[in-house]
Amino acid sequence: MPEMTFTVRWPDGTVAECYSPSLVMHDHLEAGARYPLHLFVAKSSAALDIASARVRAKYGFECTSAMQQKSEIVAAASAFPPMSIVEVVAMHPPLEA
C-alpha cells in the first residue's frame, strides 16, 4: 500500500508534515489549495478514516498512524479560530497527470 505525506501551513504560519498510509488524500485535498479550517479538518479526517479502513481491509487491523495523525490535526486545529485558513503546501508523492 503506497504511503504519502502532505505538508500543511497552519493559520499562524507554522508548517507541519502529515502522514497518510494511503494516496487517498489526493481524493480529498489538493496541493496549493487553501481551505477554511473546519473544511480542512473534515476533509483530512475523512481521508485518514478511509486510509485506516484500507489498512484494516488489507491487514486486519486499523492504522494507528493514520488515527494518530487525525488526532494531531484535530488538536492543532483547536488552537485557531474556526474561519482561519489552512494551506496544503505540498503532497508527496504528487498525483500523476
Span 54-88, pLDDT tens digits: 989 989 988 899 999 999 999 999 999 988 999 99
pLDDT of 26-63, one tens digit each? 999 999 999 999 999 999 999 999 999 998 998 998 88
Structural domain spans, the chain: 4-92
pLDDT in the model for residue 39? 97
1: pLDDT strictly greater than 80: no
CA 15 – CA 8 distance, rounded (Å): 6
> Where would I find the H helices in 20-94?
37-59, 64-77
pLDDT in the model for residue 96? 74
In angstroms, what CA-CA distances link 91 with 2, 24, 36, 61, 83? 13, 11, 18, 25, 23
pLDDT in the model for residue 95? 74
pLDDT in the model for residue 97? 62
Helices 64-77 and 37-59: crossing angle, nearest 10°? 170
Q: How confident is the model at residue 94 (pLDDT cuts 50, 70, 90)?
A: confident
